[in-house]
Amino acid sequence: MRFALMIEPQQGLSYEEQLAIARRAEAAGFEALFRSDHYQSFPGPAGRPTTDAWTVLAGLARETSRLRLGVLVSPVTFRHPGQFAKVVTTVDEMSGGRIDVGVGAGWNEDEHRQLGLPFPPLETRVERLEEELAILHGLWGEPDGWSFRGPSVAIEGATFHPRPLQRPRPPIVLGGEGSGRSVRLAARWADEYNLSKGDAAAVAVALRRLDDACRAIGRDPATLRRSAMVGTLVGAHPAEVARRVRAQLEMLELPAGQADDWLAARRPRWIIGTPDEARATARRFAEAGCDRVMLQVLLPRDLEMIDLLGEELIGKV
């Protein structure tokens, strides 16, 4: 099992705090650090500072040496596909070829409205996501002179230089919840499919649908990596687990009476507990068909937990 660290910097993290996390993750042996791409702060209180995902990754690319870096996921509504291809290629070069690019249709209507970004209906967003995927493949992989006409973007006689360092392209990660639409897109366009919700049993069902979608278009399912983003709260012993659970609930600032319900809803699908319990849960995701788990940490300033996760999980599942 491979492990990446996943953080949500819209919780108010500065660039310096994200850099400290990246350096800690690299030292702890994580293969990759992913961050979200959001402009509105959550979970927890609204109104906290937020940063631009790809600008931050460009900085981290110059201040790390081994760690792969990625965004999970960049909404198609945030950036024009042609510009997005250039941004990713630039950061890929700055990193020496250590970028994974996660893409999705977008879902948070409030952050679009607050920045004046269009937020069309879901069907349109999915259509534009598939268009973006075709454009990324084309600009990164087709010879000079490539042209394309989609529902909202037309490209004529493209000359795209430099090409990404990673060939044929930076790995494309498509996020989803196992719907027929998302597995179809992943089978056609992605290098990795990431399940963003669900326990190990639900993940296994979704990955069987992914296999079927691959076979339907003649793709070998083994050529598509599978991962799950899993909320994580781990402590060296039960008392430390309890302390981190309390810290998590305090950070969320949930109304009275909701904290227990919030936690109860997540316990079946999160990695919560001591190292032995964490390894057991991670193994269930491996048995479900995942080759990578994105450990989603919602206590990102708790650097000691990053150390613990590296020591107790990496190489031991």
**Contact indicator for 136, 81 with CB cutoff of 8 Å:** yes
Tell me the average pLDDT across 14-18. 98
Is pLDDT at 256 greater than 80 in this prediction?
no
- Res. 197 pLDDT band, cuts 50 70 90: confident
In terms of phi and psi (left: phi > 0; alpha: psi -120 to 50; beta: otherwise), the region of 39 is: alpha
Q: Return the pLDDT at 57.
A: 98
CATH number of the CATH domain containing 208:
3.20.20.30
Contact 317, 2 (CB under 8 A): no
Higher pLDDT, 24 or 180: 24
What is the per-residue pLDDT across 114-160, written as a single tens digit (0 to 9) for each? 999 999 999 999 999 999 999 999 999 999 999 999 999 999 999 99
Q: Which of 54, 62, 55 is nearest to 95 (CA)?
A: 62
Token pair listed for 18: 């994200």
* Range 68-83 average pLDDT: 97
pTM (predicted TM-score): 0.95
Residue range(s) defining the domain that contains residue 288:
2-313
Report the distance separating Cα 70 and Cα 88, nearest Å.
Answer: 10
Q: How far apart are CA 191 and CA 98, in angstroms?
A: 15
Residue 202 pLDDT more than 80?
Answer: yes
Query: ∠271-182-30 over CA atoms, to 5°?
Result: 35
pLDDT band at 297 (very low <50, low <70, confident <90, very high): very high
- Average pLDDT rounded to a whole number, residues 53-68: 98
Cα separation of 295 and 34, whole Å? Answer: 9
Q: Tell me how many degrees the CA angle 54-160-76 measures, rounded to the nearest 5.
A: 40
3-class state of residue 69 by DSSP: strand
38-50 confidence digits (pLDDT tens): 999 988 888 999 9
Q: Report residue 311 CA to chain centroid gap.
A: 22
Tally of structural domains, the chain? 1
Q: Is 175's pLDDT higher than 90? A: no
